[in-house]
């Protein structure tokens, strides 16, 4: 029986030695380090809003959508409603500079987005009031 135990002990020691021994060592050194970086993608939609996302991988199509880790976010199909403030009142906008002749934008009258402004030659806004009800 002692012979079998001795052979078994020798077999165990030989196996441990073949597998790198019994030294605990630094596991992270053996396994290496795993890290990943987040990417961010964004696009500006036709309505002026920005759609963005972050993930391990991302892509975008200008003015249409962004995609992160296989999940898509699309640009809204309708523009967001105008929130009336002093900066977008028709009287504040009228006569100020505009980006390009022929473009239109909404403006607010009495706290409601019922006005419209047109970029006229000379690149200034001219604002029109809606017709009055008789």
Q: What tens digit of pLDDT does each residue of 22-67 get?
A: 454 444 444 444 445 788 999 988 777 889 999 898 998 888 899 9
Report whether pLDDT(107) > 60.
yes
Band (13; pLDDT cuts 50, 70, 90): low
Q: Are strands 71-74 and 104-109 parallel, antiparallel or unpaired?
A: unpaired
Band (130; pLDDT cuts 50, 70, 90): low
Look at 48-57, 75-84, 120-129 and tell me which has the smallest mean pLDDT: 75-84
Provide the 10 A C-beta neighbour count for residue 25: 9
> Is the Cα dihedral 99, 101, 107, 113 positive or negative?
negative
* Cα separation, 72 vs 66, whole angstroms: 6
Q: What tens digit of pLDDT does each residue of 85-99 get?
A: 888 898 899 999 998
* Cα separation, 46 vs 83, whole angstroms: 18
Q: What is the pLDDT of residue 123?
A: 93
CA distances (Å), origin 53, targets 35, 44, 121: 20, 12, 39
Average pLDDT over residues 106-111: 86
69: left (phi over 0), alpha (psi -120 to 50) or beta: left
* Cα separation, 14 vs 74, whole angstroms: 62
């Amino acid at each position: 029986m002692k012979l079998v135990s001795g052979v078994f002990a020798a077999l165990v020691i030989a196996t441990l030695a073949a597998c790198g021994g019994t030294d605990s060592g630094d596991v992270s050194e053996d396994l290496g380090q795993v890290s990943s970086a987040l990417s961010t993608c964004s696009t500006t939609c036709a309505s002026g809003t920005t759609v963005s996302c972050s993930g391990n991988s991302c892509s975008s199509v200008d003015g249409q959508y962004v995609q992160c880790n296989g999940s898509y976010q699309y640009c809204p199909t309708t523009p967001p409603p105008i929130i009336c403030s002093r900066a977008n009142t028709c009287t504040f906008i009228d006569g100020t500079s505009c980006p390009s002749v022929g473009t239109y934008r909404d403006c607010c009258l009495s706290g409601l987005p019922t006005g419209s402004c047109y970029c006229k030659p000379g690149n200034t806004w001219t604002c029109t009031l809606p017709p009055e009800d008789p």
